[in-house]
Amino acid sequence: ETGVTQSPTHLIKTRGQQVTLRCSSQSGHNTVSWYQQALGQGPQFIFQYYREEENGRGNFPPRFSGLQFPNYSSELNVNALELDDSALYLCASSLRLTTDTQYFGPGTRLTVL
């Protein structure tokens, strides 16, 4: 059983640009959640996808959007990047929608200059 993987590991962008982060869930896990972890803080829920549809969203603006694909991969897209978007972005997969144990990838460190 492979774990959750994310790419790229690190990314540097400038304010106003757009970015796409990628995640590959564990095989068979049809639920993926994305979290933002600012320095010194715990992860904050961005949104969750279940069977390719958004299934819940945290307190993040619409410029944060996502996609989930049938092959257990997913994307997080952020438009009009702001300096405060600099953070570690984590994706987590779980086996079922009702399973609360989520398994995390290593994260993508995004720096916005």
Partner 1 sequence: DQQVKQNSPSLSVQEGRISILNCDYTNSMFDYFLWYKKYPAEGPTFLISISSIKDKNEDGRFTVFLNKSAKHLSLHIVPSQPGDSAVYFCAASVQGAQKLVFGQGTRLTINP
**Interface ranges with partner 1 (CB under 8 A):** 4, 6, 33, 35, 40-45, 47-48, 55-56, 58, 90, 92, 97-98, 100-107
SS (H, E, C) the chain: CCCCEEECCEEEECCCCCEEEEEECCCCCCEEEEEEECCCCCCEEEEEEECCEEEEECCCCCCEEEEECCCCEEEEEECCCCHHHCEEEEEEEECCCCCCCCEECCCEEEEEC
In the bound state with partner 1, the residue whose beta carbon lies nearer, of 19 and 91, is: 91
Least distance in angstroms from the C-beta of 85 to partner 1: 19
In the bound state with partner 1, the residue whose beta carbon lies nearer, of 68 and 102, is: 102
Least distance in angstroms from the C-beta of 15 to partner 1: 26
